[in-house]
Structures are given as C-alpha cells and as structure tokens.
Amino acid sequence: MRDHAATSFWLQTANDDLTPRPPLDGTTDTDVAILGAGLTGLWTAYYLKRADPSLQITVVEREIAGFGASGRNGAWCAPDLNITMSRLERLHGMDAARRMQQATYDAVDEVGRACAEAGIDAGFHKGGEIILSRGPQGEPSLQGAIEEYQRFGFGDRYRIIGGSELAMRVRVAGATRALVSDDAAVVHPGRLVRGLARAVERLGVRIHERTAVAEVRPKDASGRATLVTDRGDLRAPVVVLAGEAYLSQLPGLHRQLIPLYSLIVLTEPVTDAQWAEIGWAGREVLASTRLSVDYLSRTEDGRILFGGRGAPYRWGSPIRDEYDHHGPTHERLRGFVRAWFPSLGDIGFSHAWGGPLGMPRDWHPTMAFDPGTGIATSRGYIGHGVSTTNLGGRVLTDLVTGARSPLTELPLVNHRSPDWEPEPFRWIGVRYSQWALGRLDDEIARTGKPPTGRTLAERIANH
C-alpha cells in the first residue's frame, strides 16, 4: 500500500494517521455523489449539508482525502486568480470583474471563519502578502499591478514599499521594492483538508476512500447520474466532479484541463539567529515578479517552503507518482532559497515534493451545474485553489439547491473553457511557453531590463 505520509510534509504533519476509510461497498444510491476528497469536494459537501442537513452526500476518493493538490500546496490562502481583472472585464464587464475580485477577498476570510466554525485547526494566519521585485527590472510590474487594483477600486488594499520599510518586513537578497497587502493568509494544508474531511463526516457525509471513478454518466431515464467506480456504481440526481487536474484522465474530460506540475522544496527548521537576519516575522506569503512563478511560505515550525513551476509538461498529459519529483527543478528551487537568503548558508532541505495543477486552456476557472445532465463541477484554479475551492463549494451549493444569490451571478459560473489542442500541438505549445518564460526570466535577471509584455511567451502567460 502507498505511504501517504511521504506525499508531502503537510500530510506527514497533519496530526492524522492517514488510515484509509473503507471503500464504496457495491452499487449505492445517494442524493449527491462527489468525485474527489480534496478541498473542492469537501467544501461542497460542507456547505450543501449546512444548507440542507437532510441531504445524503457520498464522496468517493481514489486514494485518501487530501491526496491531491489540496494536501500538497504552497500554503497560500490568497485572494488571487490566475485570470486578471482586466481580462475578466473584457470577457464579462467591469462590474462582474469587480464582484469576482471582491469574492476572492471574501473567500480568504470565509476559510478562516468556516475553520473556526467547524473546529478545524488549519493554522489559518492572516499575515498578508508580499510580492517582491528583486532588482529595478521587476518594479514596472509592481506598478502595473497596483494601477490595475486602483482602476477596479481596490487600490486602498495595496501599497508599494521599499527601503527600510521593506527591510523591516523581510530581508531578501536583491529585493528593491514590494507590493504588499493584508488580505492573504497562510494555512497548514494537511490539517485543513484532513480536518475538513473529519468535519463533514461529523455532519453525516460519507467518504469512501480507495475508490476510483472510471467513468461519469449523465442522468438517465431514472433521473440519476452515475459515477462508475471499481467498487460499484454511485448513483445520484446530482454528481459533483471535484477532481481538478486528475479529471483530465477521465473519458470526455481529457482536453478540458492539462496537469501541469508545480514543485516544492522545504528547508530544515531555520535557527532563531537566522530568522533574526531574515525577519519575516509576520509569516506573510511571499513571491517575486518572476514570470515563471515562485511562491514561498514560512511554516509554523520555522521552515521555509519554496515552490515553483518548471517541471516539464509531459506528452499526452499523464499523471504519475514519479512526476512529483523532478531532480533539476527541485535543485533549481534549492538554489533559489540559497540565493534569496544567503544568511542560511548551506541549510539542509528536509522535503521535496510536487503535484499536478489543473490548467484550463483559457486560464479561466469554472463553477458549473447542468440540471439536464445532473453534473456539477468546480475546477481550473491553476495555482490559486486554496481559497477558490471554498468559493467553488459555496457556488455549487447555491447552484445545486437552486438558490439564487450573488454567488450564482459571478462570472466564473457556468463558464466552459475551450478544449486544449490535441497532441502534438498541445505538447509543442506548452513546452514552448515553459521554455520561453524561463529564458525570459534569465534574460531579465542578466540585463536588468524589465519585460515588455509583448513577447509571445508573456502574451500566453497573461492570457
């Protein structure tokens, strides 16, 4: 059997022995059937049960709750989407873009509130967010970001700081200025997802682990949709697909998302003397303006987590355990830790892991329910799912129960992303963007010239 504690530091330290729950016991009928015990599936179960305690809700999970991205992420619970407000404005109008952004701020607070309500010790700490420019070349991008927030009416939530004010917060080699806000939190992802699983069980939700869904069938003449599993069929008037990147492995969904691996390294605990050099006492979530994405967090026990993309996309979009580790990318991330924090010297690294992000073709998350087929889904968060899954759970609850609310009017609702191209075009396009963004970052660092925003790679990244 799989050693689930080896999946990530978070599952290893989740205060949970990770013993799998019993699988589905043959063909079963229920009111709501959920594929996936990650944050999307579990928040959906949580809010549905609160809306209607009489609902019978059954979750099926191929491995264990939290096995996917929810138990492996970078611990950022931040009000960000991968799709910019300007692009949401172009697609859905100014008001919708603004409402969407406001919903992301609310989602961060709701994660904290719901954890307190449900008795989940997720280590929720709202320390804020710091996006660093490591050199003047990153500063135009900070300026562009704050102007965008100002244009949409959120300017008072953000500030650009530098000099001694920045140094008081955190001391990163080469950092010149930073965009800061108070709106983001850091969590313990393992305790959040495992605690949420126990919380929904207390509300009466059934979770069956080690139960793999092989096929999803829409509503038939009996009015029930079906999750066909290796342990029997799970039938219900409403089926929720909450499998994020893994949904790409199911028939019919192969081109809706691609799995893109994000990887993480974690240091040994940093000594008090080293923390005195670094600062970062507020445990803000931290990143830089690099185009190819980095994200950092400080754990409760004083380690530094450094995550980034860069693991190569694989032909045909497979998901395999061995892809959680990619030597060259993990080594690069360790090098970044040493470059950002030279005072750490030759600090040891205790953990390295990774996992697949779910990436839609248009970078646009989807929260949808089709009463005709009985199928609901919330997916496509890319690197911003920790708070957005909570929003997804609330949106799906309102859609499924038929409640009209401000949530059901959000622009992510009932969006359908276009399909990814078939191979080999998908491989060529994704590999090209990964390579070009990395190269551009290296060039920016070497020349000190800010990005123009006009290269093909940037246009793809800002898409």
Ligand X SMILES: Cc1cc2nc3c(=O)[nH]c(=O)nc-3n(C[C@H](O)[C@H](O)[C@H](O)COP(=O)(O)OP(=O)(O)OC[C@H]3O[C@@H](n4cnc5c(N)ncnc54)[C@H](O)[C@@H]3O)c2cc1C
Residue 296 CA to residue 310 CA, distance in Å, equals 15
Closest to ligand X by CB, 243 vs 374, is: 243
**Contact predicate 135/176, CB 8 Å:** yes
Interface residue with ligand X among 108, 196, 213, 286 (CB under 6 A) is 213
What is the three-class DSSP state of 132? strand
243 touching ligand X, by CB under 6 A: yes
383 touching ligand X, by CB under 6 A: yes
From the CB of 222, what's the least distance to ligand X, in Å? 22
From the CB of 34, what's the least distance to ligand X, in Å? 9
| Cα torsion angle, 321, 324, 328, 330, sign | negative
Residue 68 CA to residue 289 CA, distance in Å, equals 27
389 touching ligand X, by CB under 6 A: yes
62 touching ligand X, by CB under 6 A: yes
**Contact predicate 33/48, CB 8 Å:** no
Residue range at the interface with ligand X (CB under 6 A); choices 19-27, 62-70, 110-118, 332-340: 62-70
The terminus-to-terminus CA distance of the chain in angstroms comes to 41
284 touching ligand X, by CB under 6 A: no
212 touching ligand X, by CB under 6 A: yes
Helix axes 85-92, 139-151, angle to 10 degrees: 40
From the CB of 398, what's the least distance to ligand X, in Å? 18
Residue 409: name the closest of 97, 105, 113, 148 by CA: 97
Closest to ligand X by CB, 379 vs 426, is: 379
Longest distance between any two alpha carbons in the chain, whole Å:
68
303 touching ligand X, by CB under 6 A: no
- Please, is 252 exposed, middle or buried when counting C-beta atoms within 10 Å of its C-beta (0-12, 13-18, 19+)? exposed
Q: Say how many residues touch ligand X, by CB under 6 A.
A: 42
Interface residue with ligand X among 36, 112, 393, 450 (CB under 6 A) is 36
Closest to ligand X by CB, 10 vs 158, is: 10
Residue nearest to ligand X (CB): 385
Site string for ligand X, 171-210 (x = CB under 6 A): ----------------------------------------
Residue 9 CA to residue 11 CA, distance in Å, equals 6
Residue range at the interface with ligand X (CB under 6 A); choices 127-135, 271-279, 382-390, 427-435: 382-390
Closest to ligand X by CB, 137 vs 387, is: 387
Closest to ligand X by CB, 36 vs 374, is: 36
Residues 6+ positions from 54 with CB-CB distance below 8 Å: none
From the CB of 164, what's the least distance to ligand X, in Å? 29
Residues numbered 69 to 128 that lie near ligand X (CB under 6 A) are 69-70, 72-76
Interface residue with ligand X among 32, 39, 97, 185 (CB under 6 A) is 39
The two structure tokens encoding residue 159:
């500030």
Amino acid at 21: R
From the CB of 136, what's the least distance to ligand X, in Å? 27
Neighbours of 329 (CB within 10 A): 21
Interface residue with ligand X among 45, 142, 242, 333 (CB under 6 A) is 242
Residue range at the interface with ligand X (CB under 6 A); choices 11-19, 172-180, 353-361, 441-449: 353-361
Strand order in the sheet with 375-379: 206-208, 57-60, 32-35, 238-241, 375-379, 366-370
From the CB of 446, what's the least distance to ligand X, in Å? 28
Residue 105: name the closest of 169, 158, 176 by CA: 158
164 sits in the region (left: phi over 0; alpha: psi -120 to 50; else beta) called: alpha
Enter the DSSP assignment of 83.
S
Q: Which residues bind ligand X (CB under 6 A)?
A: 35-41, 60-63, 67-70, 72-76, 212-213, 242-246, 250, 262, 264, 295, 307, 354-357, 381, 383-386, 389
